[in-house]
Structure 1
């Protein structure tokens, strides 16, 4: 549940232009809570696997920053704004976004992809991607405007029954547990966190499955609008400690 302080971070006047009285070179960085990657702290500064290194990089680089808690589709709109000094956290560098975005070097690398599925699907006993691709009746839940890294091309060729969601990760997980869909793709980090901390009563009807030939985890970056100066990207790259 979001506390009242979050509301102040989501006003339209803050999203696409510097705050009154702040330096014009302030960078506006948007994120949405997505543990274990992104966790909002009391002061609005993000923590988590991608949040913490991003906050550390801006601090080490001495770049003025304003944090905003914003839904993912709104984050993309901010980055597409040709005039705003806007960035967002933890995105894959995919070709279709190169036309409107700049990326820092990687801030984190996922361990690997897994399936978060309900018990009924798990009982099919599928163990490889090839077996999965032969099943055309599988219902897959996909987050709207998300990239799944090395899985994107596989999903396009597979043509399963796709349901697109703009809901929170928790609501998506509940849809899987209830059997509204069969599965969703998650990283190993996220899947383990969900089952341990968020699934609650739904956990009994969920299984985290690893297929033998799943693609490796992808690199996650800070993604910025084209109007963010190259100097800022370079300073962040020097401050990022991830190897």
Structure 2
């Protein structure tokens, strides 16, 4: 956990309040750069589809905080350990996480999930997720400790495709798909569009796979350790404008 401790010392920005009071920042707000959701600026601030509304909620509520760039697994571990007032931006809410964390109101809702597939793996566009996961020999790349929402999570458990887990971020996961280490990976359409737009000449190695039965995208939340007082969660909820 040294990376978190270093981030707390070195990467803090009291965006919630201005002036000398910013030095009293006491909530660590974890992020892991993940365009278009979370985009770090040179001044230490964070923007993006979830970064902007999260920072705005703390600022509107007048709650001091510091941004800390932290890998996803370390974020989860810190919140589970419940040793400090830690929060993380843009996580899905599920029953397992609700046992050790608390969540604000939603700050964003994804478009329906899609898959980025290797061009050598061909199935019918707009087929059902069930039929795609039932494809003989299919290999699915998943991020370790991530939830892809109940529909995808439950479908994977039901059809048991061959799974490869990784702690890598999506850009490196895309490279794994390109090299044929797996056939496809799941993500929100917003993120898939961003990755394909920035893939350059290599974008031709992939295609976007949509599913006819995919429900609306999952909501994303600010997830906090139980050390964070309930009144702070309530203040954030009043400041969050997403409906």
Q: Would you say same fold, with TM above 0.5?
A: yes
Deviations 1:126-177 (A, max 9, x none): 6222311321411100001111013111111110010001112111001112
TM-score in terms of structure 2 length? 0.89
Distance 2:235 2:119 in 1: 47
Deviations 1:87-118 (A, max 9, x none): 00000001111111000000000011101001
TM-score in terms of structure 1 length? 0.89
1:164 match: secondary structure = strand
- Ranges of 4+ aligned residues in structure 1 off by more than 2 Å: 13-16, 123-126
The alpha carbon displacement at 1:13 in A equals 5.2
Q: Which residue of 2 aligns with 1:237?
A: 237
Distance 2:79 2:108 in 1: 20
Deviations 1:52-102 (A, max 9, x none): 000000000000001100100111112112220000000000111111100
Residue pair 1:15, 1:78 contacting (<8 A) in 2 also: no
Q: Which residue of 2 aligns with 1:3?
A: none
Q: Which residue of 2 aligns with 1:57?
A: 57
Residue pair 1:174, 1:202 contacting (<8 A) in 2 also: no
The residue correspondences of 1:20-99 to structure 2 (distance < 5 A) are: 22-23=23-24, 26-99=26-99
Aligned residues: 229
2:181 match: secondary structure = coil
**39 and 14 in structure 1: CA distance in 2 versus 1, 3 angstrom threshold:** closer
Q: Which residue of 1 aligns with 2:159?
A: 158
The alpha carbon displacement at 1:14 in A equals 5.1
Distance 1:93 1:67 in 2: 21
Residue pair 2:7, 2:70 contacting (<8 A) in 1 also: no
The runs of 5 or more residues in structure 2 that have no matched partner are: 13-21
Q: Which residue of 2 aligns with 1:103?
A: 103
Aligned-pair RMSD on alpha carbons? Answer: 1.9
**13 and 196 in structure 1: CA distance in 2 versus 1, 3 angstrom threshold:** closer
The residue correspondences of 1:7-18 to structure 2 (distance < 5 A) are: 10=3, 12=5, 15=8
Distance 2:83 2:219 in 1: 27
2:227 match: secondary structure = coil
The alpha carbon displacement at 1:214 in A equals 1.4
Q: Which residue of 2 aligns with 1:146?
A: 146
**13 and 118 in structure 1: CA distance in 2 versus 1, 3 angstrom threshold:** closer
